[in-house]
Structure 1
Amino acid sequence: MEQIILGWALSGIKNIFAPKSSRILRVLLVNFGRDWDERELASEARVSNGLAHYVCKTLVELGFAARNAQNRIVLADPLRLLKRWASNHLYDRMNKFLDYFTFEREIERLVVKFAGLDFKYAFCGLVGAWLVAPYVRPVDIHLYVPSESVAREIAERFKLNPTPMGGNVKFILPYDGGVFYGVQNVQGVKVVSNVQLFVDLYNFPARGEEASSQILELMLKEWKLKREARKIV
């Protein structure tokens, strides 16, 4: 894995992929095509104005972003930024996993039960990718939750049994709450943004790279449409 050394020799910030800093990257990538005032960006990402300023400064110096005629921040090279972030991200090491077991033989039977569930959660990993772009069929369910108490409540609702390891339902306490930004509704259930799916799956074993490539295709199509729309305007 590439060493995270971005910014050491720059006047901006040392690590644009740190949890709080990456909130800004996520906002920019999820909303590709939009320009931002630094304070707007800080508010949207829920970080300090100072952090937003230094992250933006580093992004510009590295060629990932630029300033337009109104001095607003715009992404200049989203694909390179996305891949650089993903290459420095280890989903299975950065998060805390809580293992549970379901006797449901078909994963989708449990997934559909989440429709309308009034809890904060978001499917991620292979099951999230499968919901967005059915390609790699998952053998277990991964979902982000904000706390262990929420995991327990959902487990009780669906009669899931806790297990020390090897569960087929994994509640994930995220490395940062920013993972919930841009959550999308897919088939009535909540799934993390395509940006988060790609970043999480890029270095994930068990066909994660294959699944991430399908998500990337979707994003590239979306970005192309946004670029074309800007030209028309």
Structure 2
Amino acid sequence: AVPYMGEVGRKVCAEAGVGWLDLSGNAHIIAPGLRVIVEGKPNRFKTAGRPPNLFAPKSSRIVRWLLIHAGEHLSQRELARATGLDEGFVSRLVARLAKEDYLVRDERGGVRAKDPALLLDAWREAYQFAKHTVHQGHVAARSGDALLRFVSDALAEQKIEHAATGLAAAWALTRFAAFRNATVYLPDDPSPALLQRLGYREDSRGANLWLVVPNDEGVFHGAVEKDGVRCVHPVQVYVDLKDHPERSTEAAERLRTELLTWGRDG
């Protein structure tokens, strides 16, 4: 038994057909003549003070990079250079990820995700899109795809760093699910000149465009271009879709099936 079985652990057990119980009083055990399901008991073993967050914005740079390069062993120096983080910070975070059994090391000390699918699940569980600054507004367009291309072209024309995410990026990458709402990351709050160029009108209720200033620049790491549209990496699209409207759940499933195909245990 573990002190407390989190959502990721429950999902892994369910997929493996394994029963479980934890020391906080939760259980899910089904066998011939036996059915024990207890849910909703809080974690009785939380540590005092603020628990370390392996998936805080800066920490997520490491997690994201490991998932982008799943299967490769990377040195801590390579991770630091790629993510722009201090080597000491990277060393401490890698040690914590290894302690939680998310990483494996090779004989030279390089690390890789032990189970990329499990690491992605854990990141997604902790992720909150609402922690970013989201500007919601409306831009006249005949379709979501037309809106995405118009906004992407306008940003590229003005040489503004950007990358689509959410349903718009899922569509660009997999062609799954027509969408109304386009979501685009920007490094800073949009200027009045940009909003005027887009014909943007602030409108949270009728919004079809979210301009998002991320809480960490790491969201741009691994960005890819697809048919002229710059998108964040599929792993970032996947976690972002967690808190999006419309057919976001189905879009995330398609994205994972087509582009995030590591499987369990690497």
- The interval holding the TM-score normalised by the smaller chain is 0.7 to 0.9
What is the aligned partner in structure 1 of residue 131 from structure 2?
A: 94
1:204-223 aligned at under 5 Å gives the runs: 204-221=244-261, 223=262
Residue in structure 2 matched with residue 69 of structure 1 by the alignment: 107
Task: Tell me which amino acid in the other structure corresponds to 1:60.
Answer: A
Distance in 2 (CA, whole Å) between partners of 1:82 and 1:133 is 19
Match of 2:118 in 1: 80
- State the AA in 1 paired with 2:86: S
The answer to whether the Cα contact below 8 Å between 1:37 and 1:72 also exists between their aligned partners in 2 is yes
Which residue in the other structure is 1:137 paired with?
178
Residues in 2 aligned to 1:75 and 1:40: alpha-carbon distance in whole angstroms: 15
Where does the alignment leave 5 or more consecutive residues of structure 2 unmatched?
A: 1-5, 9-42
Q: State the shift of 1:130 in Å.
A: 1.1
Separation in 2, partners of 1:169, 1:206 = 13
**Does structure 1 conserve the Cα–Cα contact (< 8 Å) formed by 2:164 and 2:185?**
yes
Q: CA deviation at 1:219?
A: 3.0
Question: How many angstroms apart in 2 are the aligned matches of 1:122 and 1:166?
Answer: 22
Counterpart amino acid of 1:123?
A
Q: CA deviation at 1:51?
A: 1.3
Give the whole-Å Cα distance in 2 for the aligned partners of 1:176 and 1:124.
Answer: 15
Greater share of residues in helix? 1
Q: What SS is found at the alignment partner of 1:42?
A: helix
What's the CA shift for 1:2?
5.5
The structure showing larger relative contact order (alpha-carbon pairs under 8 Å, at least 6 residues apart) is 1
Q: CA offsets per residue over residues 68-98 of structure 1, 9 Å max, x none?
A: 011111221110000110011121x211111
Structure 1 residues 190 and 154, CA gap change in structure 2 (3 angstroms): farther
How many percent identity over aligned positions? Answer: 27
Report what 1:53 is aligned to.
91
Higher Cα Rg, which structure = 2
Task: Show structure 1 runs of 5+ residues with no match.
Answer: 228-233
Where in structure 2 are the equivalents of 1:178-193 lying within 5 Å? Answer: 178-193=218-233
Quick check: 159-168 or 114-123, which moved more?
159-168
TM-score by length of 2: 0.74
- TM superposition shift of 1:218: 2.3
Change (3 A) 1:204 1:168: closer
Partner of 2:213: 173
Give the aligned length.
Answer: 216
The answer to which of 206-215 and 70-79 deviates more is: 206-215
Q: State the distance in 1 between where 2:224 and 2:168 align.
A: 14
In structure 2, how many angstroms separate the alpha carbons of the residues matched to 1:159 and 1:97? 18
Partner of 1:231: none
Q: Deviations for 1:3-36, whole angstroms, at most 9, x for unmatched residues?
A: 9x9xx87xxx921111111110011111112211
**Counterpart code for 1:17:** F
In the TM superposition, what is the alpha-carbon distance from 1:155 to its structure 2 partner? 2.6
Contact 2:182 2:208 in 1 (8 A): yes
- Are 1:122 and 1:190, in contact at CA under 8 Å, matched by a contact in 2? yes
Which residue does 1:37 correspond to in 2?
75
- The question of whether the paired residues in 1 share the 8 Å contact of 2:76 and 2:90 is answered with yes
CA contact (8 A) 1:203 1:209 kept: no
Give the structure 2 partner of residue 127 of structure 1. Answer: 168
**Matched residue, 2:26:** none
Structure 2 CA distance for partners of 1:203 and 1:100, relative to 1, 3 Å: closer
Residues 179 and 246, structure 2, Cα contact 8 Å, conserved in 1: no
Instruction: Give the CA RMSD over aligned residues.
Output: 2.4
